[in-house]
Amino acid sequence: MNNNVRISKDNDVAVITIDNPPVNALSPGVPEGISAAIDEMNSDPSIKAAVVIGAGRTFVAGADIKEFIKMTSSGARRATLLPLLLHIEDSGKPVIMAIHGNAFGGGLELAMAGHYRVAASTAQVGQPEVNLGIIPGAGGTQRLPRLIGVAKAVQMCAEGKPISAREAAALGLIDRLIDGDLLEGAVAFAREVAGKPAPKTRERNEKLGTAAENAPIFAAARDTARKKQRGLKAPLVAIDAVEAGIGLPFDQGCQAEAKLFTECLFSDQSKALIHVFFGEREVAKIPDVPKETPVIPVNRAAVVGSGTMGGGIAMVFANAGIPVVLKDVDEAALDLGMGKIRKNYASSVQRGRFTQEFVDERLRLITPVLTYDEFSRVDMVVEAVFEGMALKKTVFAGLDRACRRGAILASNTSTLNIDEIASATSRPEAVIGTHFFSPANVMRLLEIVRGKKSSKEVVATCMQLSKKLGKIGVLVGNCRGFVGNRMFGPYRREAQFLVEEGAEVAAVDQALVEFGNAMGPLATGDLAGLDVGWRIRKEYRHLEKPGIRQPFAEDRLCEMGRYGQKTVRGWYLYDENRRASTDPEVSALVRKWSADAGIAQRQISAAEIVDRCIYALVNEGARILEEGYALRAVDIDIIYLNGYGFPAYRGGPMWYADTVGLQSVYRRICEFHQQHGELWAPAPLLQQLAETGKTFAEFDKEHVAAA
């Protein structure tokens, strides 16, 4: 028998076990193994039925995604799963799929080819392919509507979100939920159905509905996909695939699906999203901090500062079930902070994200305090006070006195030097940056800033903790702005320059929204508060090289008290619902300021806007990479996708540059260098990669191999 699939007997029931760790993906050899096992049980007269089950933590997490990379990079087509699935469905004896963990993608397609499905109630099933820029490619868009009806099938294939086994059972996708031992329950079920006619999913047409009934379902699904998954092609293609199958015989539906699947697989969007899938897992790997590094158990936490960030961070700990003390300097500040937390939770209940019971439990985990008394009992503190070095140092000196040895002392600073903060303590090895993004309880990104002396245990703990907190932790070095904000500076600088050179405010934002960004750079400034950057610029002005062009428009807007949304005026005007409208006064002012500064006005295309802003990210990203402040180009991509609204289907700024071609990117940056001067000096690493015909992805591979 195949190494990854084995067959055993439980008296008259065959047990076919898929054992391809870690997630039983359908890698080459596994489908063949299942097929051979089906043949073996069919040819054994003592066997009446078969149970297919996964070894280890899950049923089957889908096709092997690594194989897709091999296919698209070599252009080679590989065998599809369809013949195996027909083979199972045509088996003379019933095949029962026993699901625990996940049946995702090809895993669910495999399960649907069985005659029955039983599941542990903790299991999840789904067709998440759209998250990889593809669609189900082994009959998922054809079998799923036959089991659960068109509306729900379209939703699952287009949105890619899994459902619980309980919901699947209610929909008719799972035939029985099994409490207790899954295999035992599945074998008992197999005996109940053995000898009875086995239903083939592909022949169950009764839930398919008519064209007239389905038309509004497809129209509504397309509408939702265009709004909620803006720019992503796969959801629309998934809907097309389901629609194509209705009214066609099953095998022709599968052929239509296979064609659409292949088109998606070879698209740039799919390549980018697969890069993101592996990238999100890659960032957890730190070359000099091996998996075995001991971690510090974080069972109790503390947050200093109950402002917007501090309150959000306290919620993050509470949401993960970790009790947290939240400290502020006086009762009024603390009441305000706790009030905001309650309001946030109430709105989550209103939106159906959390139940009231869950929220009550979480609130019980947050203890507001005014002193450091409780701090001797916590394993980790996150400081989230006002962004100023002197204050941070005072807080850290206090933490040094209050916390037990071995506790992690983290700062949520977004710009300040972690080593300097650490110098205020007697234990710099315990100090690290944990840069949450606002709103902290929502945004997935956590930049973990490694100080010169941060210990490996502290790094490993924060990386592991990020997953428990529902975040994606990316390790970055201690430079000004770290990775995300350091790149964001040049990006927003270019947005301002473009306006100063003649582009309309809305045109700059629109070009980047059409590129796929969640928001334009100027609207983002208004949301965050233009005064934040203004204050930082004032603090660092003495570091600017003289004679180098600096944007001025935002500083002038701030001087006029136009801080953005909070003052209902910034780049835009805001109504009471925070809806933005363009402000002719801003256009006129910028034109005047630009004329005074002697900046020539011209028509600027959307393509130039995108190149200027996005290549500013890429150029700075290349410098960061070269200087070692990010471990890999993919780390930068993951930061941008999870913290800055960069479109996942473009893979992140560095992947996007690879897709465009580094030679073209480099040439364009050289043009900007000539036109706009020193700020556009190309990063040496970019130049080197472009000149040697390499990509950032190749740089990553060589770099990891060398580490």
Distances (CA, A) of 431 to 86, 418, 460, 573: 58, 8, 13, 42
The packing angle between helices 696-706 and 606-627, to 10°, is 10
Distances (CA, A) of 602 to 217, 345, 599, 678: 47, 48, 10, 21
Ranges of H-type helices in 21-79: 30-42, 65-74
Query: Under a CB-based contact definition with an 8 Å cutoff, are residues 147 and 201 in contact?
Result: yes
Active-site option among 67, 89, 129, 698: 129
Q: Among this protein's residues, is 109 annotated catalytic?
A: yes
Q: How far is the CB of 289 from ligand 3H9 (least distance, A)?
A: 15
Q: How far is the CB of 80 from ligand 3H9 (least distance, A)?
A: 6
- In this structure, the dihedral spanned by the alpha carbons of residues 595, 598, 604 and 608, taken in order and rounded to 10 degrees, is -140
Q: How far is the CB of 416 from ligand 3H9 (least distance, A)?
A: 33
Cα 171 from Cα 191, distance rounded (Å): 24
CB neighbours of residue 423 within 10 Å: 16
Active-site option among 40, 67, 109, 331: 109
Q: How far is the CB of 22 from ligand 3H9 (least distance, A)?
A: 5
Cα 130 from Cα 132, distance rounded (Å): 5
Which residues are CB-contacts of 100 (< 8 A; sequence separation ≥ 6)?
A: 53, 54, 58, 59, 119, 120, 122, 123, 182
Cα 97 from Cα 137, distance rounded (Å): 19
Cα 187 from Cα 50, distance rounded (Å): 8
Q: How far is the CB of 23 from ligand 3H9 (least distance, A)?
A: 4
Q: How far is the CB of 527 from ligand 3H9 (least distance, A)?
A: 31
Q: Which CB, 295 or 336, lies closer to ligand 3H9? A: 295
Residues β-bridged to residue 473: 446
**Helix (H, G, I), strand (E, B), or coil: what is residue 265?**
helix
Q: Which CB, 138 or 395, lies closer to ligand 3H9? A: 138
DSSP calls for 238-260: HHHHHHHHTTS-HHHHHHHHHHH
Cα 158 from Cα 238, distance rounded (Å): 6
Q: Which CB, 245 or 428, lies closer to ligand 3H9? A: 245
- Tokens matching residue 545: 């090289």
- Tokens matching residue 282: 């890659």
Which single residue is written with the structure tokens 């197999």?
Answer: 190
Q: Which CB, 25 or 407, lies closer to ligand 3H9? A: 25
Query: Under a CB-based contact definition with an 8 Å cutoff, are residues 555 and 537 in contact?
Result: yes
Using CB positions, name the residue nearest to ligand 3H9. Answer: 105
Q: Which residues bind ligand 3H9 (CB under 6 A)?
A: 22-23, 25, 61-66, 80-81, 102, 104-106, 109, 128-129, 132, 136-138, 140, 278, 281
Which among 223, 82, 105, 205 is positioned nearest to 150, based on CA atoms? Answer: 205
Q: How far is the CB of 645 from ligand 3H9 (least distance, A)?
A: 22
Q: How many residues does the chain have?
A: 707
Q: Among this protein's residues, is 213 annotated catalytic?
A: no
Q: How far is the CB of 352 from ligand 3H9 (least distance, A)?
A: 23
Distances (CA, A) of 450 to 276, 458, 544: 23, 9, 26
Q: 485-488 contacts: CB < 8 A, separation 24 or more? A: 485/414, 485/415, 486/620, 486/624, 486/629, 487/616, 487/617, 487/620, 487/621, 487/624, 487/636, 487/640, 487/653, 488/617, 488/644
Q: Which CB, 254 or 654, lies closer to ligand 3H9? A: 254
CB neighbours of residue 200 within 10 Å: 18
Q: How far is the CB of 237 from ligand 3H9 (least distance, A)?
A: 13
Q: Which CB, 127 or 414, lies closer to ligand 3H9? A: 127
Query: Under a CB-based contact definition with an 8 Å cutoff, are residues 107 and 62 in contact?
Result: yes
Q: How far is the CB of 235 from ligand 3H9 (least distance, A)?
A: 14
Q: Which CB, 136 or 428, lies closer to ligand 3H9? A: 136
Q: Which amino acid is at 282?
A: E
Q: Which CB, 163 or 424, lies closer to ligand 3H9? A: 163
Which among 449, 403, 450 is positioned nearest to 425, based on CA atoms? Answer: 403
Q: Which CB, 60 or 686, lies closer to ligand 3H9? A: 60
Q: Which CB, 106 or 520, lies closer to ligand 3H9? A: 106
Cα 652 from Cα 110, distance rounded (Å): 33
Q: Which CB, 123 or 665, lies closer to ligand 3H9? A: 123
Q: How far is the CB of 112 from ligand 3H9 (least distance, A)?
A: 11
Q: Which residue numbers are catalytic?
A: 109, 129
